[in-house]
Amino acid sequence: MTISRTTVFQLFKYVVYALLTLNVFLFGREEHLAALLQFPEGVGLQTLIEAYAATIDTAAWVVLLLMFELETCVLEDRHFTPRVTLALHGTRVFCYTFIVYAFYGYIANAIFAYDVVALPNINDLCMLATDQWSYAVTLDEYTDITALNCTTLTNNSSFWQLGVLPAVVDHSGLIDIQRLAWVDVINAGVWILIVVILEIDVRLQERNHLEGRALTISNILKIIFYSILFLAAVYWGIKGDFVDFWDAFLWLLAFFFIELNVFEWRQEEAEEKLLI
């Protein structure tokens, strides 16, 4: 039995989509552990997006990705009844609401990263080993400071407390956290811009108008924006945040598939015009 190249490609594509779905749970677990420290009294509706920005964002993007896959690849023209079209558009509006909501959460997290207070009387991390303090290893990742690990976490002698949390970080760690927080903001904002362009592409393609200057402008903007996203993924990889790096890599791959869907859709429309 032989398997066609198309079948292998489709299988690989849906494996990527499945891995992105798995990332929802990975981010949920990571943010839940951080929320135990950041919100000791529990996470309410007002703080939900600050505690679970990445989880909510990723879940909304996964659903949105599947909507694009349906519209650009799975469904044929005869399937687009008014009810199906309304369902697709309504689901996307629902996803965009949470994506913008999550973008606000990333901004709130970036602002929090600057809410720090110097601890002038602490020059050795081991001085905090008996008071249930935590050390911020990276953004949204903390480890308890104990007598066993206090000498291995940092060699610095100046520390900052994060907000009112019983959590500290040294100067270089604070800079890294602030930069990672802003990379989250930039990454989320650029993805919103990309999906706006992609929505315009799909609407133009539905009317056979995705050509000429519109296509050129779309391609130029997407090259710029995808390059920014690639640099963000590289930065996460350098800083050792594997989950963020892996997630960014998968999303670039997933939207490559969506872009390919639109390209093939455009090619099919062009071939149909030649046959008329």
Give the pLDDT confidence of 61-102 residue by residue, as tens digits: 999 888 888 887 777 777 778 888 888 888 988 999 989 988
Helix (H) or strand (E) holding 103: helix 82-112
28-37 pLDDT, tens digit per residue, is: 888 888 888 8
Q: Rounded to two decimals, what is the model's pTM? A: 0.83
Which one-letter DSSP state was computed for residue 154? -
What the block records as the tokens of 115 is: 């809410």
Measured CA to CA, the distance from residue 89 to residue 70 in angstroms comes to 12
Whether the predicted pLDDT of 2 surpasses 60: no
Measured CA to CA, the distance from residue 165 to residue 128 in angstroms comes to 13
Mean pLDDT, rounded, for 219-234 = 93
Is residue 225 within 8 Å of residue 231, measured between CB atoms? no
SS3 of 116-150: the string is: EEECCCCCCHHHHCCCCCEEEEECCEEEECCCCCH
Measured CA to CA, the distance from residue 201 to residue 196 in angstroms comes to 9
Determine the distance from the C-alpha atom of residue 276 to the mean position of all C-alpha atoms in its chain, rounded to a whole number: 44
